Amino acid sequence: MEGAEPRARPERLAEADARAADGGRLVEVQLSGGAPWGFTLKGGREHGEPLVITKIEEGSKAAAVDKLLAGDEIVGINDIGLSGFRQEAICLVKGSHKTLKLVVKR
Residue 6 included in any domain: no
Share of the chain above pLDDT 70, in %: 78
Whether the CB-CB separation of 41 and 51 falls below 8 Å is answered with yes
Residue 1 included in any domain: no
The average pLDDT across 13-17 equals 51
Residue 5 included in any domain: no
| DSSP state letters, 19-42 | HHTTT--EEEEEEES-S---EEEE
Q: Distances from the Cα of 58 to the Cαs of 8, 13, 36, in angstroms?
A: 37, 29, 12
3-state SS assignment for residue 88: helix
Instruction: Find the CATH number of the domain harbouring 91.
Output: 2.30.42.10
Residue 3 included in any domain: no
Residue 2 included in any domain: no
Q: Which domain holds residue 46?
A: 11-105
Residue 6 in this model has a pLDDT that exceeds 60 = no
Please tell me the total count of domains within the chain: 1
Counts of helices then strands in the chain (DSSP H, E): 3, 6
Residue 65 included in any domain: yes
